[in-house]
Amino acid sequence: MKSASSNSEQKRAAGARAAYFVKDGMRIGIGTGSTVAFFIEELGSRIREGLKVAGVPTSSQSRLLCFSCGIPILDASMVNHLDLAVDGADEIDGGLNAIKGGGAAHTVEKIIASMADEFILIADESKLVDKLCGHFPLPVEVIPAGCAFVMNQIRLLGGEPSVRMAVKKDGPVISENGNYIIDIAFNSPPADLSLLNRQLIGIPGLVETGLFLGLAQRALIAGAQGVREIKRRA
């Protein structure tokens, strides 16, 4: 069984490797999560050595960490193009499609990933799966007023939705956009993720899904033997 310490070491290795894809003068999209935190730390170290970049964080958590590491910050609402974006994932398949949203920031994360010339996923090897939605539930962001309607529509699509509840706070998790997060479980992985994504996005009140399909050009996956690079096949 993999220890927590080895998992942390692998995350650190993946995050540190990603920092060396950053070149002087770039605008960088910076994701959210424990693996990205190591990327931010390494990027901060390179900036102290003279690298000049600007970061666009996807969440308050990442924004605060960027600030503490001395990374110059731009607001996502004022940017329409990025040279590179780096983010973690909850699941990654062999085609570099991914599920994100465990940190409830996937709507902004998808915007940031979509505006980047290159999007790199970073993760430890436990995140690699044969098929998405087999173990990790699919997060979707939902306007509170549409919660009951959206959940009913999800059931009609074969999913089992549940509102994500907060820890150390009563009530549901609230995204930075002021919305609920609904996690969708499936009895078996959906056969057509593109179709599922379109069907979910078509539900009024559902803001965005955690399916990141065809966005990543490469993934940096850390394991016991080091970090390997996987490129998306053309």
| pLDDT above 90 for 233 | no
112 with 23, same domain: the answer is: yes
Which tens digits make up the pLDDT trace of 210-231? Answer: 999 999 999 999 998 899 999 9
Per-residue pLDDT band for 168 (boundaries 50, 70, 90) equals confident
Q: Note the pLDDT tens digit of each residue in 102-133.
A: 999 999 999 999 999 999 999 999 999 999 99
Same domain? For 170 and 91 the reply is no
Q: Are residues 68 and 166 in the same domain?
A: no
pLDDT at 50 over 60: yes
Report residue 4's pLDDT band, with 50, 70 and 90 as the boundaries.
Answer: very low
Mean pLDDT of 172-200: 97
* Dist CA 36 CA 38 (whole Å): 5
- What percent of the chain has a predicted confidence (pLDDT) above 90? 93
Give this prediction's pTM: 0.93
CATH code (residue 55) = 3.40.50.1360
109 catalytic per annotation: yes
The pLDDT of 179-200, averaged and rounded, is 97
Domain identity same for 189 and 171: yes
pLDDT of 5 strictly over 80 = no
> Which CA distances in Å does 208 have to 110, 132, 144, 196, 212?
9, 17, 13, 12, 10
pLDDT band at 1 (very low <50, low <70, confident <90, very high): very low
Shared-domain flag, residues 80 and 153: no
Helix (H, G, I), strand (E, B) or coil at 162: strand
pLDDT of residue 234: 66
Asked if residue 160 has pLDDT above 70, the reply is yes
Q: Is the domain of 65 the same as that of 165? A: no
Domain that holds residue 201: 138-207
Q: Which of 109, 176, 208, 229 is catalytic?
A: 109
- Domains held by the chain: number: 2
Do residue 122 and residue 145 come from a single domain? Answer: no
pLDDT band at 2 (very low <50, low <70, confident <90, very high): very low
Please report the pLDDT score of residue 185 as a whole number: 98
Asked if 144 and 74 sit in the same domain, the reply is no
> What pLDDT does 232 receive?
87
CATH at 154: 3.30.70.260
Are both 23 and 54 inside the same structural domain?
Answer: yes
- Distance between CA 54 and CA 47 in Å, rounded? 10
Our measurement of the distance from residue 116's CA atom to the centroid of its chain's CA atoms, rounded to an integer in Å, reads 14
- Considering the domain architecture, whether residues 31 and 123 belong to the same structural domain is answered as yes
Coil/strand/helix, residue 114: helix
pLDDT-based confidence at residue 7 (cuts at 50, 70, 90): confident
User: 100: number of CA atoms within 13 Å, CB side?
Assistant: 31
